[in-house]
Structure 1
């Protein structure tokens, strides 16, 4: 019997996390970085709670609302589902929303990653991740992980960016003292190429939504 895309992505994500020794954290510290991250997008993932409800325990959701009306209600819905599923919830950029819904942390776009140190001081228990599209974001203090994209040709806002490719991604991961998660164009058909790359996990938008869609 062939394996489903969801099974392949989850297996690869756990292998990446296992191989990245700097992902684990001791008791009483911030949550461990999820090896598989589902990033929401108002256009491409209009019903993100459906995907969140099917993610495996230990995965994570990054809710990026981009000012969408009703975002607070969606965030609360995601918080209820992720808590029940044993899935972490991070809010994109909006620290006030993250506090209001009791999220596990915050995800910062590349333009805002320099805020990480101040946010870490204010919220020492939060998991804080930041987006990166180039080596300039490597070494930013206060981040628990960088989400680097696009590794492969991707859609959405990353469609206009040239893919890094595996050679450049490996180089960036090797130069970073912060764990690096791979994003962009990752599917079940190419996810295994990330094994041995230095990635601590993988992230996706449409591919994860499709893989964890209702049967």
Structure 2
């Protein structure tokens, strides 16, 4: 997940990702044209390293930027031309993400995180409740994740993990 806190280290962080990883370009604070330029820079690295790149926003913007998919909780439900991911913090948001056709569910915050100071981590009980109702969607965990915490995840339930601070 891109974030302004990565500063000038963003592209280096993308270079360090394991082959087959993905990047969701957020940087919501940037005007759309600047964010699209950032996505192009990230996409160049992603193509060389076998990663995918998603645009945080609507599908039309993602298509215009040549992203591999889009990350959004809003917008029309049903089939999309591109793969979709969605943020989920509880079972209500999970139901909404499934109705919208999200193939990838980003569940957070599993642990305390600097991204959402003061947010209550969901813990394993709430996480498992969400995961057991996820259907065929790939589960990605985030929120206070580190490489060590990522390795501890049950691979039968969790497809992968995401982070921001973990890549600084």
Instruction: Give the TM bin, normalised by the shorter chain.
Output: 0.7 to 0.9
Runs ≥4 in structure 1, deviation > 4 angstroms? none
Matched, 1:91 2:91: no
Q: Following the alignment from structure 1 to structure 2, what is the Cα–Cα distance between the partners of residues 89 and 196?
A: 22
Highest relative contact order (Cα 8 Å, sep 6+), 1 or 2?
1
Q: Following the alignment from structure 2 to structure 1, what is the Cα–Cα distance between the partners of residues 139 and 68?
A: 19
Q: Following the alignment from structure 1 to structure 2, what is the Cα–Cα distance between the partners of residues 163 and 205?
A: 16
Q: Which runs of 5+ in 1 are unaligned?
A: 1-38, 211-215
User: Could you tell me which residue of structure 1 aligns to residue 26 of structure 2?
Assistant: 64
TM-score by length of 1: 0.68
Q: How does 1:170-181 map to 2 (within 5 A)?
A: 170-177=128-135, 178-181=137-140
User: Could you tell me which residue of structure 2 aligns to residue 45 of structure 1?
Assistant: 6
Could you say what the CA RMSD is over the residues aligned between the two structures, in angstroms? Answer: 1.9
TM-score by length of 2: 0.85
Matched, 1:76 2:66: no
109, 117, 126: which one aligns with 1:159: 117
Aligned length: 161
Q: Which runs of 5+ in 2 are unaligned?
A: none
